[in-house]
């Protein structure tokens, strides 16, 4: 038995439901937008650039961690760094269909992961003054002359210490033989920067090499005690020399008059007695 009221209700329900379904997008357009905005409006070029940037950041990170100690990351990771910078610049510059890739990925939300990673990597590079290792005047960065010169001297000093350490047990001997190259290296290093630690402007690969050399020189070989010997001799000599005038005056004041006086007295007494006796004989 078809109940007309039931039929009416069914039709009503069906009708409202079909309206609901067909007009879903119009009623809630923002829902549709949010659901698809992560894939649809992003130009393919930007996605590709983001992938490249991620790859280059990953390449640099890998290289810099592998070369963290002893610090060689400035010298070893320059290719990765240059690639990383250029991928980031490309990401910033590219505009596709009026949509800039920069606005999609950078400063779009509070986490800002892309910018955070970029700054993190840049921070490592700049904290190490890595740019100072290079000559940037050409199209591609090359190791600067100072860096090459330092590396050469550093290798010489290390070789000297290594070869001489195996042939002789005495660290004094090693110190003596390698003193010349060590002092030259130290002098050159000091000329590179204003403060003697070199943290202000010297490329960290160089700072670390020098730190290691100084540590081997003064702690392991204990070469600094050799330097004390000439100092001690110098101080002793200076002491003796500056004491000489005092000694002279003391000697003049106390010795010569005492010695001279009795001579004069003796002489005059002798003369007197001589004169007396001779005059007595005459008399």
Ligand X SMILES: *[C@@H]1O[C@H](CO)[C@@H](O)[C@H](O)[C@H]1NC(C)=O
Query: How many chain residues touch ligand X (CB under 6 A)?
Result: 20
- Applying the rule CB under 6 A, the residues between 19 and 78 that interact with ligand X are 52, 55-56, 59
Is residue 173 within 8 Å of residue 164, measured between CB atoms?
A: yes
Inter-helix orientation angle 204-215/145-167, to 10°: 20
Nearer to ligand X, 152 or 253 (CB): 152
Distances 99 to 45, 54, 125 between C-alpha atoms, Å = 11, 20, 31
121 is a contact residue toward ligand X (CB under 6 A): no
User: Could you say whether residue 165 binds ligand X (CB under 6 A)?
Assistant: no
CB nearer to ligand X: give 100 or 211: 211
Compute the least distance from the CB of residue 61 to ligand X, in Å: 11
User: Minimum Å distance from CB 85 to ligand X?
Assistant: 11
Three-state SS annotation for 118-130: HHHHHHHHHHCCH
User: Considering beta carbons, is residue 112 or 171 the nearer one to ligand X?
Assistant: 171
Enter the tokens of residue 215.
């540590």
145 binds ligand X per the rule CB under 6 A: yes
From 47, 94, 193, 211, residue interacting with ligand X (rule: CB under 6 A): 211
- CA atoms of 3 and 9, how far apart (whole Å): 10
Backbone angles phi, psi at 92, to 5 degrees: -70, -40
The residue from 73, 77, 83, 221 that contacts ligand X (CB under 6 A) is: 83
CB 95, min distance to ligand X, A: 11
Provide the phi-psi class of 107: left if phi over 0, else alpha when psi is between -120 and 50, else beta: left
Site for ligand X in 180-199 (CB under 6 A): 197, 199
Q: Is 242 in the site for ligand X (CB under 6 A)?
A: no
Question: Which helix (H) or strand (E) is 100 found in, with range?
Answer: strand 99-100
Q: Specify the stretch interacting with ligand X by CB under 6 A; choose among 155-163, 186-194, 264-272, 275-283.
A: 155-163
Query: Near ligand X by CB under 6 A, which window of 24-32, 158-166, 248-256, 275-283?
Result: 158-166
State which residue, 187 or 236, has the beta carbon closest to ligand X: 187
**Least Cβ distance, residue 106 to ligand X (angstroms):** 18
Contacts 24+ apart (CB under 8 A), 39-47: 41/99, 42/99, 42/104, 43/96, 43/97, 43/99, 43/101, 45/94, 45/96, 45/101, 46/91, 46/94, 46/96, 46/99, 46/101, 46/104, 46/105
Q: Distance between CA 207 and CA 38 in Å, rounded?
A: 46
Please state, in angstroms and rounded to a whole number, the distance separating the CA atoms of residues 197 and 202. Answer: 9
Instruction: Kindly state whether residue 177 participates in binding ligand X, applying the rule CB under 6 A.
Output: yes
CA atoms within 13 A on the CB side of 98: 1
Q: Contact with ligand X (CB under 6 A): which of 164, 176, 193, 226?
A: 164
Give residues in contact with ligand X (CB under 6 A). 52, 55-56, 59, 83, 97, 135, 145, 159-160, 163-164, 167, 169, 177, 197, 199, 207, 211, 215
């Amino acid at each position: 038995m078809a109940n007309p009221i039931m039929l009416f209700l069914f039709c009503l329900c069906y009708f409202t439901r079909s309206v609901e379904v067909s007009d879903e997008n119009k009623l809630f357009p923002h829902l549709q937008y949010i659901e698809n905005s992560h894939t649809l409006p992003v130009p393919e070029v930007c996605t590709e650039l983001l992938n490249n940037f991620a790859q280059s950041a990953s390449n640099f990170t890998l290289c810099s961690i592998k070369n963290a100690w002893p610090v060689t990351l400035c010298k070893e990771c320059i290719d990765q760094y240059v690639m990383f910078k250029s991928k980031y610049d490309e990401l910033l510059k590219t505009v596709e269909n009026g949509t800039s890739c920069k606005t999609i990925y950078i400063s779009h939300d509070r986490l800002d992961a892309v910018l955070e990673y970029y700054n993190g990597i840049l921070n490592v590079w700049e904290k190490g003054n890595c740019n100072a290792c290079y000559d940037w005047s050409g199209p591609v960065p090359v190791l600067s002359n100072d860096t090459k010169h330092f590396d050469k001297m550093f290798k010489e000093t290390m070789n000297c210490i290594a070869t001489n350490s195996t042939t002789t047990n005495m660290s004094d001997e090693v110190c003596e033989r390698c003193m010349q190259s060590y002092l030259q290296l130290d002098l050159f290093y000091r000329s590179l920067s204003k403060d003697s630690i070199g943290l202000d402007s010297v490329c960290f690969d160089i700072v670390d090499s020098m730190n290691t050399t100084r540590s081997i020189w003064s702690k392991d070989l204990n070469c600094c005690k050799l330097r004390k010997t000439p100092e001690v001799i110098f101080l002793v000599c200076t002491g003796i020399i500056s004491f000489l005038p005092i000694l002279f005056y003391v000697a003049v004041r106390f010795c010569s008059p005492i010695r001279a006086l009795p001579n004069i007295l003796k002489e005059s007494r002798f003369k007197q007695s001589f004169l007396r006796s001779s005059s007595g004989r005459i008399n």
